[in-house]
Amino acid sequence: MGVIQRTYTATDDCGNESEAVQYITLLDNTPPVIENPEDSTIECDEVGELIDPESIDIYDNCGLEVDVVFTETIEEGICEDSYTIVWHWVATDYCDNVSEATTNITVQDTTNPVFVEGPDDVTVECSDELPGVVYPIATDNCDEDVVIEMTEETLGGDCPQEYTLQRIYRAFDNCGNQAIYVQ
């Protein structure tokens, strides 16, 4: 970083002088400090709550500016809402000391869809027409479109004309989480 030269002059009572020179060499062998966040695992609906990765503290022991290169990559996971965000910083100070830091944010979807509205149970006479299929409505914390599948099962009653038709609705998000609604 530089050299400081100090000259000391000593003079006695008779006017005799003597000089000494001191050289102080300033070095910077310390790389910058990157205070990156720790690795973490979050739900897919928490991605919007992440800190701004470019706002983290990066500083140099000599107090000078630091050149920072930041990159963000996305590593695919097992489904659309399951992936890893990789933040990587490279910081270089004026003396070309370099620090690197990486933070991995694992994004997952472990939350089942939720049925918010569905058909009511009904009782009909054996001579009445069965009500048509009315699909329930389901929402998910990360998916806009929830897939709903329906199966029917007939459960016998006390006589041949008496039975229960059970409609089972399954709501799936794009990571395979599911919820069940029975009519």
Could you read off the pLDDT of 114-160 as tens digits, one per residue?
A: 999 999 999 999 888 889 999 999 999 998 889 999 999 999 888 88
pTM of the model: 0.76
Sole residue written with tokens 């050289």 = 23
Strand order in the sheet with 40-43: 40-43, 98-108, 82-92, 67-79
∠ CA 73-74-75, rounded to 5°: 120
pLDDT band at 1 (very low <50, low <70, confident <90, very high): low
Q: How does pLDDT run across 25-44, given as a tens digit for each residue? A: 877 889 999 999 999 999 99
Among 134, 131, 115, smallest CA distance to 123 is for 131
Separation of alpha carbons 162 and 155, rounded Å: 9
- Binned at pLDDT 50, 70 and 90, residue 161 comes out as confident
Neighbours of 138 (CB within 10 A): 24
